A and B are shown apart, each in its own frame.
Chain A
Amino acid sequence: MGKNALIDLILDPQSFFAEKMTREESLKVPALILLAMGIVSGIGAAIVSSVTVQMLPPEAASMGGLIAGIGFVAAIISVFILWWAIPSVLFFLLSRVFSGTGSIKRTFEFVAYGMIPQIASGIISTGIFYVYFTSLRLSPITDPMLIAEEMEAIMQSPMLQMATLISLLFILWSASLWIFGMQEAHRLSRRNAAITVGIPVALYIIYTVVTFWGM
């Protein structure tokens, strides 16, 4: 994926996906995109894990490196599952409601291209996590039942709330790309493509807002 292709994806996604339709279906570049996104997310998860592990009892806190590593790997795997497989399957199924004709592989491919803004989002979020969590000092909590409560209190920080809002903004950007992608992949009208993408994305945004701000 060249520089011009990236510019096309950002500024003229319809032409980008139309051009991709003329080519063989391939998941090599999409997989690398998801891997890059996974690494960025993994770094962010490792930062959060390495700091929040301070709340654990001293004997558990000594395994801070291992816990950060587990957080890193878990983040990569979750990116592939939550951010690639699930939306691709959902878009594929919903496109079928509107008589979409594209294959599941093409859907995976275009969903991955639509994930490129999430790499930028991940870098920004990781930066915010680093600034916030490295300035945070936590003391061990003797009652493990209270750790979740403490984490919930931490997540109410304005900085972390702002990071969530920024991630939702980039989700909207990805949704915009996915609409163009699904329109081309499944030969849908712009409206049907918007519904295909809009329903899962809207549900995700609603879920995020409700769980994060309790609305």
Chain B
Amino acid sequence: MKRIACILLLLCCCAGIAAAQDSAAQVAVTTVVMDPGVLMRGDTATVTVVVTNNGSTAVAISRAVLIDSDLSVLNENSYASVGNLGAGNSMTFTFSIRADVGDGIYYPKFYLDFRNAGSLRYRIPVKVDSTPLQVSVLSRPDSFQQDAKATVTLKVGNPRQNELNGISITPTGTGVTAVQTGYFVGNLAADGSATVSFDVTPTQSTDLVFTVSYRNGLNQHTSEVVVPIELMSGKKQAEPLLNNIEAASEGGYYRVTGDVTNAGLETAYSVVIFADSPAVPVDPFRVYVVGALDPDDFSSFEVTFQADQDSAPIVVQYKDVDGNLFSSTTAVKLGSAGAADASGDELPIGMIALAAVLVLAVGGIIAYTWKKK
């Protein structure tokens, strides 16, 4: 009798286990979502796994884990103890992974351990692709000119398989300013692109760096494109030149007269001529306004100023058709003894010595003749 009871108990247990295994077989992974869809090296992503109990009885789940030898799972033990999954219900498991690996497709394993009913294993494909956002210069001037505004157009393209967000472009560079301090592009779908223009004004030869920052999921990334700026005169730029210069000193100030000729291929607008520091412009011609000067055209000019030096810088200032201001400086030798020049000479040492000798000699002779009886 006792033996019969043991056999019945064993049969009951086997029947229970078989019933539990039947229930576990009804649990399946129904959804896997990765954000971002494709990682870059070093990125962190979330993997969301949804399991559904399609059976008619509840299933006891012991734990859920994500395991991989290459990818790092940041919350391994988040689901060490789960509980029951009711009939017809779903349960979501979210894991954070970091891809400190090279490009490729990895398959971390999702384990769902059932209490007394084996486990569910499911491989999740994870793509790692480090291709960055592409930035290229679409157009730029043939040559940059000092203090002249120029337009640089960029093309931003997303060669990745997933969408990128929060894309913004910032221009930086020493000695260059931009009208647009930055440009927000927003998001770019896979294989999408956007065109952005910047108006920049360089003051010196430099490297203009466009920094593109963007997000792949929660991961911030940057790309850069460098536009070298080499200042040079424009090929067709107006080029006012001074010649036939004459300097004359006139009672306390200088009068410089001459011709200004446009040797360039474009019209020079708003041409003005004046003496620069250390010279001090004075009336009647502090500034001489020539106006527009066509190519190969010339005009006479006249400026008046005070100066203590032997030469003075004469500045020719003009604008191009866009209103960019240009200037060129010509040192004009004054070569005249103005009031300041004449009185500013220092007495040579030889002159002082000669005077001393003469005073002693003449004084000695006079004294000698007067003492002589």
Identify the closest chain A residue to B247 (Cβ): A139
Identify the closest chain B residue to A155 (Cβ): B342
| A150–B251 CB distance below 8 A | yes
- Chain B residues in 8 Å Cβ range of A180: 369
Q: Which of B247, B335, B368, B369 has the most CB of A within 10 A?
A: B369
Minimum C-beta distance from B198 to chain A (A):
51
Contact with B along A122-139 (1 / 0, CB 8 A): 001000100000001111
| A153–B248 CB distance below 8 A | no
- Chain B residues in 8 Å Cβ range of A14: 369, 372
> Does chain A have a CB within 8 A of B336?
yes
Contact with A along B281-294 (1 / 0, CB 8 A): 00000000000000
| A162–B355 CB distance below 8 A | yes
Identify the closest chain B residue to A133 (Cβ): B337
Contact with B along A112-154 (1 / 0, CB 8 A): 0000010000001000100000001111111100100110011
Residues of A in contact with B, size category: 20 to 34
Binds A, one of B66-74, B80-88, B126-134, B344-352: B344-352
| B335–A139 CB distance below 8 A | yes
A156 to B338 Cα, complex, angstroms: 11
Tell me whether chain A's interface is mostly helix, strand or loop, or mixed: helix
| A170–B348 CB distance below 8 A | no
A63 to B97 Cα, complex, angstroms: 101
Q: Which of B255, B346, B362 has the most CB of A within 10 A?
A: B362
| A157–B342 CB distance below 8 A | yes
Q: Which of B250, B346, B358, B372 contacts A142 (CB 8 A)?
A: B250
- Chain B residues in 8 Å Cβ range of A172: 362, 366
| B347–A162 CB distance below 8 A | yes
Q: Which of A10, A124, A139, A165 contacts B249 (CB 8 A)?
A: A139
| B359–A169 CB distance below 8 A | yes
| A143–B250 CB distance below 8 A | yes
| A10–B365 CB distance below 8 A | yes
Identify the closest chain A residue to B367 (Cβ): A176
- Chain B residues in 8 Å Cβ range of A136: 337, 342
| B365–A157 CB distance below 8 A | no
| A139–B336 CB distance below 8 A | yes
Identify the closest chain A residue to B339 (Cβ): A153
Minimum C-beta distance from A66 to chain B (A):
23
- Chain B residues in 8 Å Cβ range of A170: 362
> Does chain A have a CB within 8 A of B244?
no
Contact with B along A159-170 (1 / 0, CB 8 A): 100100110011
Known: A142-B248, A143-B251. A137 touches B336 (CB 8 A): yes
Q: Which of B342, B362, B365, B368 contacts A153 (CB 8 A)?
A: B342
Known: A11-B365, A137-B335, A176-B369. A166 touches B355 (CB 8 A): yes
- Chain B residues in 8 Å Cβ range of A13: 369
Mark B residues whose CB is within 8 Å of A. 246-252, 255, 334-339, 342-343, 345-348, 351-352, 354-355, 358-359, 362, 365-366, 368-370, 372
Can you add 4 more A-B contacts, CB < 8 Å, to A142-B248, A165-B355, A172-B366? A149-B252, A150-B339, A153-B338, A169-B358
6 A-B contacts (beta carbon < 8 Å): A10-B365, A137-B335, A137-B337, A162-B355, A166-B358, A176-B369
Closest 4 CB pairs of A and B: A146-B251, A153-B339, A139-B336, A158-B347
